[in-house]
Structure formats: structure tokens, C-alpha cells
């Protein structure tokens, strides 16, 4: 069982090490957000403990970057009690949010619970790879680049998220609601923005946007990335 701790303060690192003495988890420490993301990509841990007080970037951005290509369970650890931050963490895909100071046995119990949840997820996770080919289209999740016939295609952040989401569900029809929730969060429910983005994406990746090959419309339901 490998645990990735994203933390820069030495005393917290030591505290966690002490807690883990009793339970035989293998602990890996990342001192920065950048290091954390690349470690999750190169050596996927079983669970991530993410402290929000990082030196190089906002901890929640790190969570977002991780969630672009991995569904590893992430427990956010923070000294901040602000509700808005908690909500944002959960909606970005955090599995739990613990505020410091915390008791060691509760800490371990929450880790066990997150791992229990993750067991059910594993099936889905296997499908997550670093890159996907669809016809002449290549989506590289790790590099965060989409290219058509070898030529890189420039996509805006939202466009990339949509293409990425569709690519992770090749052949599946994704409903409007599902896409909206995944891209804009749980509150959005207006298709218009999605339609505009689809039009823009198609202009960039389809030979004939009026008769799309890659992302086809399922009228009244949603969109589907074709499987070639």
C-alpha cells in the first residue's frame, strides 16, 4: 500500500511518518505540487494526502491536474476551515477533507474508508491511460496535447476538457447533464455553452464540421466519441 504525501513542512511529515509506523504503509513524500503531479503519473500511489499549504502553487490546482488523468483517492489536509474551500475541494474530486489538527486514529480510519471506496473504482481506473488514438486524432493526457495527423491542435482549456472527457469514454454516449457536471461543476444546467464549445471543437478537429466523424450528436441525449 503506497501513500503519497504532498507536504513541505518537516514536522507534519514526521508526524505522518510516526502515525504510519504502526500500519505498514509505504510512504512517499512530494515537497511541491509539480513533483506530486509527476509522481502520480509515473508511480501511481494507492492514495494521495494533499496538504493545501504548498510553496509553488495552489493545492487545489494540483488536485485539478491530478484529476485530469487519474482517479486515485485524494484526501485533502488543510489548516483552513473555510467552507468555500472545502466545497471547491470536494467538487474538484477530493474524497475527503481533514482539518488540522487531527487525531491519528481518525486520520487512519478516513484513509481506510477512502481506500475502500477506491476498490470499487479500480475497474474504471484501468481504462485510464496516458494517451489515446482515435482515427487520426491523438489525445495525450499526460502532455495535455491534442494532435491531428501529427499536427498539434490548439484547444482552449474548456475545449480540451471536453475532448479529454469524451476520449476517456470512447463509444459511450455521454448525456448533456453529465458533460456539464464534469466540465462546469454540479450547478450548471444550460446546454448553450456546451453547444458553442462543440462547434468550436469541430471546426478544429473535423474535416467537415457539419458531418462530424469524431464527436457525433445523439439528439435529445448528448454526444458520443466515435470508436474507429
Partner DNA sequence: TATTTTCTTAACACAATCTTAACCTGTTTC
Partner DNA sequence: GAAACAGGTTAAGATTGTGTTAAGAAAATA
CB of 12 to DNA, least distance (A): 29
| Whole-number Cα distances in Å, 37 to 32, 41, 122, 172 | 9, 6, 19, 28
C-beta closer to its own copies: residue 136 or 173 = 173
Q: 130: buried, middle or exposed (CB in 10 Å: 19+, 13-18, 0-12)?
A: exposed
Residues 30-59 that bind DNA (CB under 7 A): none
Q: Which of 26-34, 35-43, 168-176, 196-204 is the region at the interface with its own copies (rule: CB under 8 A)?
A: 168-176
Q: Please work out the total of residues on this chain that contact DNA, with binding judged by CB under 7 A.
A: 27
Q: Is 189 in the site for DNA (CB under 7 A)?
A: no
197 Cβ contact partners less than 8 Å away, ≥ 6 residues apart? 158, 159, 162
Q: Is 202 in the site for DNA (CB under 7 A)?
A: yes
| Whole-number Cα distances in Å, 127 to 3, 39, 149, 176, 214 | 22, 19, 24, 22, 19
| Interaction pattern, residues 71-100, with DNA; x per rule: CB under 7 A | ------------------------------
CB of 202 to its own copies, least distance (A): 19
C-beta closer to its own copies: residue 10 or 221 = 221
Of 5, 186, 10, the residue nearest 111 (C-alpha): 5
Q: Is 135 in the site for its own copies (CB under 8 A)?
A: no
Contact by Cβ (8 Å): 69, 43: no
Q: Return the beta strands (E) in 102-168 as ranges.
A: 131-134, 137-140, 145-148, 151-153
Judged by beta carbon distances under 5 to 8 A according to partner kind, the member of DNA, its own copies, none in contact with residue 11 is none
Sign of CA dihedral 155, 65, 83, 181: positive
C-beta closer to its own copies: residue 43 or 172 = 172
Q: Is 158 in the site for DNA (CB under 7 A)?
A: yes
Contacts with DNA by CB under 7 A lie at: 154, 156-159, 176, 184, 190-193, 195-200, 202-203, 209-210, 217-222
Amino acid at each position: 500500500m503506497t501513500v503519497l504525501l504532498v507536504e513541505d513542512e518537516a514536522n507534519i511529515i514526521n508526524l505522518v511518518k510516526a502515525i504510519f509506523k504502526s500500519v505498514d504503509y509505504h510512504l512517499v513524500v512530494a515537497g511541491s505540487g509539480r513533483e506530486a503531479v509527476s509522481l502520480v503519473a509515473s508511480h501511481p500511489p494507492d492514495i494521495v494526502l494533499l496538504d493545501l499549504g504548498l510553496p509553488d502553487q495552489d493545492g487545489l490546482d494540483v488536485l485539478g491536474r491530478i484529476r485530469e488523468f487519474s482517479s486515485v483517492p485524494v484526501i485533502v489536509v488543510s489548516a483552513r476551515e473555510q467552507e468555500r474551500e472545502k466545497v471547491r475541494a470536494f467538487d474538484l474530486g477530493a474524497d475527503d477533507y481533514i482539518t488540522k489538527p487531527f487525531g491519528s486514529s481518525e486520520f487512519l480510519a478516513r484513509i481506510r474508508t477512502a481506500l475502500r471506496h477506491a476498490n470499487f473504482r479500480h475497474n474504471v481506473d484501468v481504462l485510464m491511460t496516458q494517451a489515446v488514438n482515435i482515427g487520426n486524432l491523438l489525445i495525450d493526457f499526460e502532455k495535455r496535447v491534442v494532435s491531428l495527423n501529427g499536427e498539434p491542435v490548439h484547444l482552449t482549456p474548456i475545449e480540451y476538457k471536453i475532448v479529454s472527457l469524451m476520449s476517456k469514454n470512447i463509444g459511450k454516449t455521454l448525456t448533456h447533464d453529465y458533460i456539464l457536471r464534469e466540465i462546469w461543476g454540479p450547478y450548471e444546467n444550460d446546454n448553450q455553452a456546451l453547444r458553442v464549445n462543440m462547434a468550436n471543437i469541430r471546426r478544429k478537429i473535423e474535416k467537415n464540421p457539419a458531418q462530424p466523424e469524431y464527436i457525433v450528436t445523439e439528439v435529445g441525449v448528448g454526444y458520443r466519441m466515435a470508436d474507429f
